Chains A and B, each alone.
Chain A
Amino acid sequence: EVQLVQSGAEVKKPGESLRISCKGSGYSFTSYWISWVRQMPGKGLEWMGRIDPSDSYTNYSPSFQGHVTISADKSISTAYLQWSSLKASDTAMYYCARLDCGGDCYVRVVVDYWGQGTLVTVSS
């Protein structure tokens, strides 16, 4: 069974750093890209970026480039999303998700499995 299990909820202060995780199991972790998706309170879904765990190559949404870093450790089948300096506006639920590309993630992308979400609250 494919599973993406994310780390638990976090409460942080503005300016603090944070790294949240997403551990994949039940499939070959290096065969599927992982994306991160933000959902602010009461709002819709926003694509943040993605990583190919086989070589850690990343693509970012222009809206998030420079503010977050996506990484992966294939030895433990885990992807990460990190911030060096959080803002109150980073308060949101963050989902990791597996991308089924049918071979080429520059041609086709279906988000076929999702993690359970990690709630990040940033407040002074």
Chain B
Amino acid sequence: DIQMTQSPSSLSASVGDRVTITCQASQDISNYLNWYQQKPGKAPKLLIYDASNLETGVPSRFSGSGSGTDFTFTISSLQPEDIATYYCQQYDNLPAITFGQGTRLEIK
């Protein structure tokens, strides 16, 4: 099984800060990685697909990069509405998909 390790597990930042979350795969997964945002009490929402493509309607302050085993998710300028838990998800080992353990983002 492919393991996805996200770091940090939690993060506190100020409005306007640049925020970076990393996701490491246990083996090469090319660019087969997506990122989701889950606000408290809500369903997850797709933000980034295929490692670096912004989903339609998602603000441009969100971005993703990486390939192989190391991936990065960035919020260029943190906004209050970005408070959420963020998950990476790989699809290299279909039909199974695997999520990272999540990164909880809080406002400082």
A-contact bits for B3-25, CB 8 A (1 contact / 0 none): 00000000000000000000000
How many Å lie between the Cα of A6 and that of B94 in the bound state? 25
Q: Which of B34, B43, B50, B99 contacts A115 (CB 8 A)?
A: B43
Q: Which of A44, A45, A46, A105 contacts B95 (CB 8 A)?
A: A105
From 80 to 108 in chain B, residues with beta carbon under 8 angstroms from any chain A beta carbon are 87, 89, 91, 94-102
Give, as a whole number of angstroms, the nearest-CB distance from B62 to chain A: 15
15 A–B contacts from the bound complex (CB under 8 Å) = A35-B97, A44-B100, A45-B44, A45-B99, A47-B96, A47-B99, A95-B43, A97-B44, A105-B95, A108-B50, A108-B91, A110-B34, A111-B97, A112-B46, A114-B43
B residues sitting closer than 8 Å to A (CB atoms) are 32, 34, 36, 38, 43-46, 49-50, 55, 87, 89, 91, 94-102
Known A-B contacts: A35-B97, A105-B94. Give 7 more (CB < 8 A).
A45-B89, A59-B95, A61-B96, A108-B50, A108-B91, A110-B91, A112-B55
